[in-house]
C-alpha cells in the first residue's frame, strides 16, 4: 500500500506547489474512515482509493482531484457526510466527492449495451464536473485491474459495462491509453479464450520476428539522425482487443491482419513531422489509401498526427504515427493532458497560450461527448452543463429511459411502453408512492402501478410533456369513444336483426364484411353507432334475401297458430320502441361522458326519468323522456331507437336540463319569488320566456338545470305552494 509520503512525492514531482498538508489530511482521514474494511482481494479497502489517486497522479491532475480520489468512497461506504468533508476539505472537494457518490449509486443498476449511449449521457449529466469523470474512470480502471478477485457472475457484468460505457468514454475524452487498458481488461474477462488466443499469437509473432521491432526502430532512428531530425522512435504491437476488433470488423483471420506493428515517432516541431514522412516514403513503399494528415486537418477531439503505412523490412506492413511531443501528450492523455487543472496560475506566455488552447480543446471535447446533440450554451469552467434539458430515469429492471426535463411518470410509462402508459394508475419513485404528475429527477427509479381495462383520462393529454405520451393518450381516448360507438352499434344491429326475425351472430357478420366494405366487425358496429351506416344494410348484407317491411310495433296477433304463429311469437321478443331494458342498455352519463349525448331540445331529460335514445347520424344520441310527444316523429324509423339507461357518477354530480311552465299572477315580484325558490333549491335557470294567457295571469317558461327528478319535483312543489302561482307543469316530462 502506498505510504503517506509516497503520495505527496508523486504529486510534488509534477507540481512543486502542491498543498502537502491537504494531501496528508486526506490520507489520514480516508484511512481512518475505511478502518478495517477489506477489498475482495483481502487487501485493506484503503489501498483502493490510494491506487485510484496514484493513477490520477500519472495524469498529473490537480490537488482537488487527487484528494477527491482519496476520499471518493468515504460518503458511500463509511459514515462520512458531504457536510463533514466540506468542513474539513472545502466545498470544491466536497462537491467532487458528492458527484462520485452519486455516480457510484448508478453502479447498482444493470445496463444493457443498447443503452450505453444514454448511460454515458446520464454520467455526464450527473457528474457536473469533468474531474468527477476522471476520478470515476481511474476508479473503474483500478477495479478492472483487480477484477479477478470478484465473483465470476459479477465480473462479467462489470467488464461488459466497462467495455460498453467507460472505455468509449475514456476514448472520447481523448485518453487513448486509459481506453486501451480498460478494453483489454474487459476483453480478457469476457472472452478469455479469444484473448488468450490472440495474446499467444501476438507473443509468437514477436518471437518469430525477433528483433524486427528493434531493427525497424534502429533503422528509422539512424535514417532520421543522418538527416538532422531529432526523433523518439517507439515501436509496439497492437493491443489484443484492437486486433480482435479488427478481425471481427473485417472478418479476417489473424494471419490476414497486416498492420500488427505500429511505430510512433515523436519529433520536436510540426515541420519535422512532414520531413519524417518524406524520409519514410522515400525509403519504403507506401500502402495506398493509408496516408492521413491529421495535422493540417485535426480530428474533432483535437487529435493531431500524420498516419501512414509502409511495407517495411521483411515485407511486414508497418503503421507509423508521426507527431510532436505536445500532440503526443494530447493523444494519450486527452483532457487530463491539459494544464487546466494544474496548480499554479499561468506564469509565462507559453503556459498562457497552452492554457487557453487547453480550455478551447476541453470545451470542444465536452461538446463532442454529447455526440450529435449540439449544446447551445458555452460551458463555464469545468462544469458539465450538458443535458440540462434531459432527465434519465430507470425502470425497476434497470432499463434507462431518457426524457425531456419536466417529464412526469406518465411520460415515463409511455416511453417504456404504450400499454404501460394506457393502464397506469399510480407510481412509486425510488420506492415511495408519488403522484403520477411529479417531476422526475435524474437517476430516479420509477415503478408504474397498472390496472387493465383502464382508459387514460383525457385531461392527461395537456399535462404530459412528451409527444409520444400525448399522441398515445389521444389515441386511447379516441379508441375508448370508438368502443362506445361499437357498443352502441351492436345494440342497434342486434335490434335490427330481431326485427327482421333473424338472429345476429359475429360469425355471420364476419362473412359479410366484404359486402359492407369494412375491415372488421368493430368497424361495422362503430359505423352503425355513429350513424354512418344503416342497420338495415347490415341485415341485408348477412341475409341478402331479406326484404324489410316497415310496420308499426307489432304485438302478438290473435288467432294465429301453427308454425306461422311460432314465428310471430319469436318476434314478440322485439320490444316496443323505447321500452327500456336494463340488460344491454347503453349507459348514459351527463354531458361529460364519453358518448356524444344531448338532451331533448324541447324539454330536456333528468335522471329518474325513464328515457330512450334516438340516434342522429353524425351527431350522437338524443335522450328523451319516454313520454315525450316528440318521439312520435321517429315511429317509422325503428332502427334509430336505442335502449339507454342512466349511469351516474355519484361523486361528481352534474346538472341536467328540464323545462317547466309556471302559470303565475302577473304582478310585480312574482318572477323574483320564483327565481328565489329555484336558487335556494340549488338549481339554475338557463332561460326564461313569458307567454301571456290572460290579462292577470301569464305563463313563465323556465329552462332549469337540476340534479335529478327528485330535485325537480321538490322545486315544482315549492313553486306550487306560493300564493301567486296557480299551476306548475313540466314540459315533455
Ligand atoms: Mn471506488
- Return the axis-axis angle of helices 521-529 and 535-542, rounded to nearest 10°: 150
Taking 50 as the threshold, does the pLDDT of residue 167 lie above it?
yes
Strand 317-324, strand 424-429: pairing: unpaired
Distance CA 12, CA 57 (A): 10
* Least confidently predicted of 166-180, 225-239, 345-359: 345-359
**Ligand 1 center from residue 326 Cα (angstroms):** 31
- Residue 37 CA to ligand 1 center (angstroms) comes to 13
Which member of 76, 92, 523, 686 is catalytic?
Answer: 76
Query: What residues flank ion ligand 1 with Cβ within 5 A?
Result: 73, 139
Confidence of residue 323 (pLDDT cuts 50, 70, 90): very high
**At CA 164, angle to CA 158 and CA 166, rounded to 5?**
75
Q: Which residues pair with 449 in a beta bridge?
A: 426
Residue 641 dihedral angles phi and psi, to the nearest 5°: -85, 135
C-alpha closest to that of 454 among 417, 426, 425, 488: 425
Chain centroid offset of residue 564 CA:
67
Question: Do 443 and 102 meet the contact criterion of CB atoms below 8 Å apart?
Answer: yes
Q: What are phi and psi of 283, to 5 degrees?
A: -80, -40
CB neighbours of residue 219 within 10 Å: 15
Please report, in angstroms and rounded to a whole number, the separation of the first and last CA atoms in the chain: 95
317 bridge partner residues:
311
How close is the Cα of 203 to the center of ligand 1, in Å? 33
Mean pLDDT of 675-691: 91
pLDDT band at 232 (very low <50, low <70, confident <90, very high): confident
Q: Is the pLDDT of residue 720 over 60?
A: yes
Tell me, in angstroms, the distance from the centre of ligand 1 to residue 106's CA: 13
Cα–Cα dist 45/37, whole Å: 5
User: What domains can you pick out in the chain, each with its CATH number?
Assistant: 4-175 (1.10.3210.10), 193-333 (3.30.460.10), 388-465 (3.10.20.30), 476-542 (no CATH), 562-646 (no CATH), 656-731 (3.30.70.260)
CA of 395 from ligand 1 middle (Å) equals 25
CA of 141 to the centre of ligand 1 (A): 10
Task: Please indicate whether residue 728 or residue 551 has the higher confidence score (pLDDT).
Answer: 728
- Distance (angstroms) between ligand 1 centre and the Cα of 73 equals 5
pLDDT-derived band of residue 28, with 50, 70 and 90 as boundaries?
very high
What the block records as the C-alpha cell of 462 is 395537456
Q: Residue 552 has what pLDDT?
A: 42
Round to whole Å and give the CA distance between 396 and 431.
10
- How many Cα neighbours within 13 Å face the side chain of 428? 8
Distance 48 CA to ligand 1 centre (A): 7
pLDDT digits (tens, 9 = 90+) for 259-287: 677 888 999 888 989 999 888 888 888 88
Euclidean distance between CA atoms 599 and 540, whole angstroms: 32
Range of lowest pLDDT (201-210, 347-356, 428-437, 516-525): 347-356
Q: Is the predicted pLDDT of residue 341 greater than 60, yes or no?
A: no
- Residues 6 or more apart whose CB falls under 8 angstroms from that of 142 comprise 48, 51, 52, 55
Round the average pLDDT of the chain to a whole number and report it: 79
**In terms of DSSP bridges, do strands 390-394 and 400-404 run parallel, antiparallel, or are they unpaired?**
antiparallel
CA distance 526 to 514: 16
pLDDT value, residue 544: 82
Cα 184 to ligand 1 centroid, rounded to whole Å: 20
d(CA 318, CA 336): 29
CB 309 within 8 A of CB 259: yes
Q: For 551-570, what is the mean pLDDT?
A: 34
Sign, CA dihedral 469-471-473-479, equals negative
The answer to whether residue 292 scores a pLDDT higher than 60 is yes
Distance CA 435, CA 635 (A): 52
pTM across the whole model: 0.53
Cα of 191 vs centre of ligand 1, distance in Å, is: 25
Determine the length of the chain: 733
Write out pLDDT tens, residues 381-405: 334 444 557 787 888 877 778 888 8
User: What are the tens digits of pLDDT across the range 443-463?
Assistant: 788 999 988 777 788 778 888
The band of 413, judged by pLDDT with boundaries at 50, 70 and 90, is very high
In this prediction, residue 399 carries a pLDDT of 75
What is the pLDDT confidence band of residue 108, given thresholds at 50, 70 and 90? low
Ligand 1: distance of its center to the CA of 139 in Å? 5
| Number of other residues whose CB lies within 10 A of the CB of residue 53 | 29
The yes-or-no verdict on residue 706 having pLDDT over 60 is yes
The answer, yes or no, to whether residue 89 has pLDDT greater than 90, is yes
At a CB cut-off of 8 Å and minimum separation 6, what does 140 contact? 162, 166, 182
Handedness of CA 210, 213, 219, 225 (dihedral sign): negative
User: Cα(185) to centroid of ligand 1, in Å?
Assistant: 17
Across the range 176-202, mean pLDDT stands at 91
Residues 448, 420 contacting (CB under 8 angstroms): yes
pLDDT-derived band at 306, boundaries 50, 70, 90: very high
Most confident of the following: 298-302, 576-580, 599-603:
599-603
Q: What spacing in Å lies between the alpha carbon of 157 and ligand 1's midpoint? A: 16
Active site residue: 77, 107, 522, 699, which one?
Answer: 77
Q: How far is the CA of 49 from the centre of ligand 1 (A)?
A: 6
DSSP, collapsed to helix, strand or coil, labels residue 200 as: helix
**Strand ranges across the sheet with 620-625:** 597-599, 620-625, 611-616, 641-642
- Owner of C-alpha cell 497492437: 238
Strand-pair partners of 646: 588
Q: Mean pLDDT check: name the lowest of 65-79, 230-244, 572-586, 710-724.
A: 572-586
Q: Residues of the chain with pLDDT > 90: what percent? A: 23
Backbone angles phi, psi at 237, to 5 degrees: -85, 155
Q: Is the dihedral of CA 433, 439, 440, 446 positive or negative?
A: positive
**Model pLDDT for residues 113-156, shown as the tens digit of each residue:** 556 666 666 666 666 677 888 899 999 999 999 998 888 888 98
Q: Cα torsion at 621, 626, 631, 635 (round to 10°)?
A: 100
Could you count the other beta carbons within 10 Å of the beta carbon of residue 622? 21
The answer to whether residues 543 and 498 touch, using CB atoms and an 8 Å cutoff, is no
C-beta atoms surrounding 667 within 10 Å: 12
Q: What's the pLDDT at 548?
A: 58
Identify whether the C-beta of residue 488 lies closer than 8 Å to the C-beta of residue 621. yes
Specify the 3-state DSSP secondary structure of 571: helix
Is the pLDDT higher at 337 or at 579? Answer: 337
Helix 63-71 vs helix 130-145: crossing angle, to nearest 10: 50
Quick check: is 77 catalytic?
yes
Residue 488 pLDDT > 90, yes or no?
Answer: no
CB 731 within 8 Å of CB 602: yes
How far apart CA 511 and CA 51 sit, in angstroms, is 76
* Arithmetic mean of pLDDT, 465-481: 84
Q: Does residue 193 have an active-site annotation?
A: no
Amino acid at each position: 500500500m502506498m505510504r503517506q509520503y509516497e503520495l505527496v512525492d508523486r504529486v510534488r514531482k509534477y507540481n512543486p506547489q502542491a498543498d502537502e498538508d491537504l494531501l496528508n489530511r486526506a490520507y489520514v482521514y480516508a484511512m481512518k474512515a475505511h478502518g478495517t474494511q477489506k477489498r475482495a482481494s483481502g487487501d485493506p479497502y484503503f489501498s483502493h482509493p490510494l491506487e485510484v489517486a496514484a493513477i490520477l497522479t500519472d495524469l498529473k491532475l490537480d490537488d482537488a482531484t487527487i484528494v477527491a480520489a482519496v476520499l471518493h468512497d468515504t460518503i458511500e461506504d463509511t459514515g462520512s457526510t458531504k457536510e463533514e468533508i466540506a468542513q474539513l476539505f472545502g466545498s470544491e472537494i466536497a462537491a467532487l466527492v458528492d458527484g462520485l457518490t452519486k455516480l457510484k449509486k448508478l453502479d447498482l443498476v444493470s445496463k444493457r449495451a443498447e443503452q450505453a449511449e444514454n448511460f454515458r449521457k446520464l454520467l455526464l449529466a450527473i457528474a457536473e464536473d469533468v474531474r468527477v469523470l476522471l476520478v470515476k474512470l481511474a476508479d473503474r480502471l483500478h477495479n478492472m485491474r483487480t477484477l479477478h478477485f470478484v465473483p465470476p457472475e459479477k465480473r462479467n457484468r462489470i467488464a461488459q459495462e466497462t467495455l460498453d460505457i467507460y472505455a468509449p468514454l475514456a476514448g472520447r475524452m481523448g485518453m487513448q491509453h486509459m481506453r486501451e487498458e480498460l478494453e483489454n481488461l474487459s476483453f480478457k474477462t469476457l472472452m478469455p479464450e479469444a484473448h488468450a488466443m490472440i495474446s499467444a499469437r501476438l507473443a509468437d509473432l514477436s518471437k518469430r520476428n525477433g528483433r524486427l521491432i528493434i531493427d525497424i526502430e534502429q533503422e528509422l532512428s539512424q535514417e532520421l539522425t543522418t538527416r538532422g531530425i531529432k526523433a523518439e522512435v517507439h515501436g509496439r504491437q497492437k493491443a489484443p482487443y484492437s486486433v480482435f476488433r479488427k478481425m471481427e470488423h473485417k472478418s479476417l483471420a489473424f494471419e490476414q491482419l497486416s498492420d500488427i506493428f505500429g511505430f510512433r515517432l515523436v519529433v520536436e516541431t510540426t515541420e519535422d513531422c512532414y520531413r519524417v514522412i518524406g524520409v519514410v516514403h522515400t525509403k519504403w513503399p507506401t500502402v495506398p489509401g493509408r496516408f492521413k494528415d491529421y495535422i493540417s486537418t485535426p480530428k474533432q477531439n483535437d487529435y493531431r498526427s500524420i498516419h501512414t503505412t509502409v511495407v517495411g523490412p521483411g515485407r511486414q506492413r508497418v503503421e507509423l504515427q508521426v507527431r510532436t511531443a505536445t500532440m503526443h501528450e494530447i493523444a494519450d492523455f486527452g483532457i487530463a493532458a491539459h494544464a487546466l487543472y494544474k496548480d499554479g496560475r499561468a506564469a509565462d506566455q507559453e503556459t498562457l497560450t497552452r492554457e487557453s488552447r487547453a480550455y478551447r480543446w476541453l470545451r470542444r471535447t465536452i461538446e463532442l461527448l454529447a455526440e450529435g446533440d449540439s449544446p447551445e450554451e458555452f460551458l463555464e469552467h469545468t462544469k458539465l452543463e450538458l443535458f440540462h434539458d434531459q432527465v434519465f430515469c430507470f425502470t425497476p429492471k434497470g432499463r434507462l429511459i431518457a426524457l425531456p426535463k419536466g417529464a412526469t411518470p406518465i411520460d415515463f410509462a409511455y416511453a417504456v411502453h404504450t400499454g404501460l402508459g394506457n393502464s397506469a394508475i399510480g407510481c412509486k419513485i425510488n420506492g415511495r408512492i408519488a403522484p403520477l404528475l411529479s417531476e422526475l429527477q435524474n437517476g430516479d427509479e420509477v415503478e408504474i402501478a397498472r390496472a387493465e381495462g383502464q382508459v387514460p383520462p383525457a385531461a392527461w393529454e395537456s399535462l404530459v410533456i412528451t409527444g409520444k405520451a400525448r399522441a398515445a393518450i389521444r389515441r386511447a381516448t379516441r379508441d375508448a369513444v370508438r368502443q362506445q360507438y361499437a357498443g352502441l352499434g351492436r345494440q342497434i344491429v342486434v335490434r335490427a336483426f330481431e326485427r327482421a326475425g333473424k338472429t345476429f351472430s359475429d360469425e355471420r357478420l364476419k362473412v359479410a364484411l366484404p359486402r359492407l366494405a369494412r375491415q372488421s366487425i368493430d368497424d361495422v358496429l362503430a359505423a352503425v353507432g355513429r350513424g354512418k351506416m344503416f342497420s338495415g344494410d347490415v341485415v341485408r348484407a348477412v341475409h341478402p334475401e331479406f326484404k324489410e317491411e316497415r310496420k308499426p310495433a307489432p304485438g302478438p296477433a290473435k288467432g294465429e297458430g301453427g308454425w306461422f304463429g311460432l314465428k310471430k311469437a319469436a318476434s314478440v321478443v322485439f320490444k316496443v320502441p323505447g321500452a327500456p331494458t336494463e340488460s344491454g342498455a347503453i349507459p348514459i352519463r351527463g354531458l361529460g361522458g364519453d358518448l356524444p349525448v344531448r338532451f331533448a331540445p324541447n324539454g330536456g331529460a333528468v335522471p329518474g326519468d325513464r328515457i330512450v335514445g334516438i340516434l342522429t347520424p353524425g351527431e350522437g344520441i338524443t335522450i328523451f323522456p319516454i313520454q315525450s310527444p316528440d318521439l312520435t316523429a321517429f315511429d317509422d324509423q325503428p332502427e334509430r331507437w336505442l335502449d339507454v339507461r342512466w349511469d351516474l357518477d355519484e361523486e361528481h354530480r352534474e346538472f341536467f336540463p328540464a323545462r317547466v311552465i309556471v302559470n303565475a299572477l302577473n304582478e310585480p315580484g312574482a318572477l323574483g319569488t320564483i327565481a328565489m325558490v329555484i336558487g335556494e333549491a340549488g338549481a339554475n335557470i338557463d332561460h326564461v320566456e313569458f307567454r301571456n294567457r290572460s290579462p292577470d295571469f301569464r305563463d313563465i317558461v323556465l329552462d332549469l338545470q337540476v340534479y335529478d327528478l327528485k330535485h325537480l319535483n321538490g322545486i315544482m312543489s315549492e313553486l306550487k305552494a306560493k300564493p301567486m302561482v296557480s299551476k306548475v307543469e313540466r314540459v315533455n316530462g
